[in-house]
A and B are shown apart, each in its own frame.
Chain A
C-alpha cells in the first residue's frame, strides 16, 4: 500500500536525475514547478534542489511540495518534504537514502521517516524501505510493471491506514498495530490486495459509533478488493480478545482463539456479510450471513446453523442482540442449537432444539428451568410438529410445575396442538389453546385461552408477598391476548376467598415486564366474610358480610393510581373496639374523649347496622363518601343497639398517600389508641 505513495516520487526523481546527471553533474541545480501530475500523484508548489556531494559521490537531493494528492491512499493536500542522497553503487543500482516528512497525512502517517529506495534495472526491481520508530514498511515491485507490488508491514500504526480505508469505508481505525505480508495490484477499476496479516490491539470506529471495535488482536489471511463503488473483503482469521460492535450485535471475544471466516461487501455505507462462519469452541459455532444498513442497523440476519453453549455464548455474543429486543439481564445455562432468520421487519424463521436450558430474564420476573425439546417456526411455510416442555416455569413470583406441549407452525402462527396442563400452586392452569405470531412487530402477538382450577390462595398470597388469604382461585379466561406489549384478559377471573367471591373482569396489564407495569380492571366483591377478612389484615375484628366494587382500577407499578371503590356491609354485625380505634387513628386519632371515651373502653364490640365507605381516587386525592350525609360530613358506621355507635367522616377530599401510611401503621398494630 505504501508503494503507491512512494513509487511515483521515485520515478519523478529518477527522471530528474537522468535528465540532469550528465550535464550538470558538478553544478547545483534548482527546479521550481507550479504543478506536477503523474497517474496517482499530483503535486503543486514544488521545489527540487539537486547538489553534487562534496566528495563527488552522488547527489544531495531535496524535494518539497506544499500540496500533494494521492487519491488511491486517500491522501489529500499533504505537505511533502523528501531529503537525502542519491547514488549509484558498484553493482549499478540506484540508491536513494534519506528522510521523508509528510504533513497532514491521515493518522499522522510518516511525520518523519527514513526512506531507502533501491532501483535495480538489471534485476528489474524497485525496493522501498520506510522506517519510523518501530514501524517498518517494505515495498518491492518490478520496474516494468509498477502496478504490482509486494508489501511487508511491521508494527505499522493502524491509524496510518485511515486514509486508504477512507476510500472504501466511512469508519476509521483508532488504535493498534498492523503486521502484514500482502500482494497488491493497482487496477484501472480499483485496488486489490491479498495476503497474511496480524493485528495487535486494533480499534476502529464509524461516525455515529454504531460500528466499532477495540483491542482486536489476531492473525489470518485477507483478500481485499476495493472497487469504484464497492469493496469486498474475504477473511479467514483467528481472533483473540477484544470487543466488536456491529449495530445491535456485540461480541466480547475470549482470550483463546476464535476462528472467524467471512466474505463481506461494503457499498454506499451498507455492509453485507454474505458468508459468516464463527467457531468459538466453548461458546458458539455458527454459519450464516448478516446485513447492515448505512446507519449501522441490522437489516438482515440469517444463521443457517448455530450451536450455543450458555452462559458463555450470551456473555460473549448475545448481550447486544438481547438488549436490542428490550430485554436485559438474561441469565442462561445450558446448550441450544438451531437456525434463525431475521429480516428488516422482524423474525421470519427460527428453530431450536435443546436437551436442557435454564433461562431467567427481567430480574427473575420470567424464567424457565429444564427446557427440553424443540420448536420450529416459519413466517411463510408450515413446519412439522415438535414437542417442548420444561421442568418448571416462573412467572413473576409464582412457580409453575413441569409440563410439555406439542407445537406446530402453520401460516406464521406457532400453535399448541392440544391442551396442556401446568401445575400451579396446588391447582392447575390449563392452556386450552395458544397461538404465537413471532413475526408480528406490533398488534396481536399472542392469543391464548386458559382455565384455572383450585389455585391455593394461601400459597398465592405467600408467593406475591401478601397477607395470607385463605381460599381458592379459579376461573376461565376465554381469551388472553398479548397486543403491543399489553396483556388483555377477556372473560374473567373469579377468586373464591373469604367465603365469598372476588370477580375480576376487563383486566389488562401493560408493559408487563417493565419497571412500571400498569394494571387496569374492574373488581366486584360479593358476600365476603368480614370476620375472616379482618383477621387477615390485623385491623381489629368486624363481622358481617361485605359487598362492593372497585371499578376502573389502575395500578401503576402495583400501586393504586386511580379507582372508584364502593364498599358496603349492610347486613349488620359487630365491630370490635380495636377496629374502632384503628378507624379513628386512621382519621387522625384521639377523637372520643371525655365521658364517651370512658364509656367506649368498657365495650369489646359494638353492634352496627350498616358500614359504608366510598373512595374515588384520582392522582393523590381520594374523594370520600359513606352511607349518606351527616352533620358536617358523611356517615361511615351506623350503629345498632346500645351504645349506639356512629362514625362520621369529615373530610371529603383526602390525601391518599397519608391515608395509606396511616392504614399501614394501623394494620401493624402500633397505631394510637383511644385515651
Chain B
C-alpha cells in the first residue's frame, strides 16, 4: 500500500523519458608555462631560501607566446639557433629527481653554507667551497661532500636539459644561462664569481 513503488514507477518512466544520462567531466586543464627561471626559483623558494629582493628578480614579462624562456636565452644563443630555442624548464623524471635533491640540499646543509659565505656560486653554473676556514671543523668534510653532490647533480641537470631538448650540444649555453640565473635569484649576502672568477658578495 506504500506510495513508494508508485513514485518509483513514475520516476522510472521519467528516466525512460529522459533517456540517456550523460555526465560531462572537465578535468583541470594543464596550466601554461611559467617564468623562464622556474627551475631555479622552484629550488630556491620551495627549499625555504628567502627569495631575492623584488628589484633583483627577473622582470615579470607578459606571457609572450609559448616560449618565454627565449628572452633569457637570446643573450647566449645565436639568433639562428634561437629560432628553435631550448626550453630550459623542460621536465623529465631525471630533472624532477635532480630538482628534488637540490631542494632537499638547499633546504638543508647548503643553505647554511651559502649564508655563511663558505660556499658560493661559480661562473660555470657549479658551486664551490670558497672559504673552508670559516666553517667549524666538524662541518668541513660534510661541506665538501655537499658541494661534490650538488655539482654532480648540476652537471647532470645541464646535460639532461640539453638532451631533453634534443640538442646535447646546447649544454654549454644552458650552463651559462643557469649560472646567470642562480646569481640573479640568489638572496643578498650570498657569494658568486664574476666573469673573471673573482668572488663577490651579492
Contact = CB atoms under 8 A, between A and B. Distances in A.
A124 to B, nearest CB: 48
A243 B138 contact: yes
A294 interface: no
A428 B81 CA distance: 59
B71 interface: no
A81 B20 CA distance: 110
A592 interface: yes
B2 interface: no
A554 B21 contact: no
B23 interface: yes
A659 B94 CA distance: 22
Given A324-B141, A562-B92, A596-B18, A587 B97 contact: no
Nearest to B102: A516
Interface in A578-595: 580, 583-584, 586-588, 591-592, 595
A596 B22 CA distance: 8
Given A515-B101, A556-B97, A602-B11, A320 B31 contact: no
A620 B27 CA distance: 14
A346 interface: no
A644 B23 contact: no
A342 to B, nearest CB: 15
Contacts of A520: 93
A584 B93 contact: no
Interface in A545-584: 554, 556-557, 561-562, 580, 583-584
A619 interface: yes
Contacts of A244: 137
A326 B25 CA distance: 48
Given A243-B137, A245-B138, 10 more contacts: A210-B140, A250-B141, A514-B104, A556-B93, A561-B97, A587-B26, A619-B92, A643-B20, A650-B24, A659-B28
Interface in B1-39: 8, 11-12, 14-16, 18-31
Interface in B92-108: 92-94, 96-97, 100-101, 104-105
Contacts of B31: 620, 655
A319 interface: yes
A191 to B, nearest CB: 28
A323 B141 CA distance: 7
A326 to B, nearest CB: 7
A659 B18 CA distance: 31
A212 interface: yes
21 contacts: A209-B140, A210-B140, A213-B137, A243-B138, A245-B137, A245-B138, A250-B140, A250-B141, A324-B145, A516-B97, A556-B100, A586-B27, A587-B24, A588-B25, A619-B92, A633-B24, A639-B21, A643-B21, A644-B19, A649-B25, A653-B30
A600 to B, nearest CB: 6
B163 interface: no
B133 interface: yes
A636 B20 contact: no
B51 to A, nearest CB: 21
Nearest to A510: B97
The 10 closest A-B pairs by CB, nearest first: A209-B132, A587-B25, A516-B100, A554-B93, A619-B91, A515-B104, A658-B28, A654-B27, A644-B20, A245-B137
A252 interface: yes
Given A510-B97, A556-B96, A639 B20 contact: yes
B50 to A, nearest CB: 21
A524 interface: no
A359 interface: no
Given A245-B140, A323-B142, A510-B97, A647 B15 contact: no
A621 B89 CA distance: 14
A649 B26 CA distance: 6
Contacts of A205: 133
A562 B91 CA distance: 10
Interface in A241-260: 243-245, 247-248, 250, 252
Nearest to A244: B137
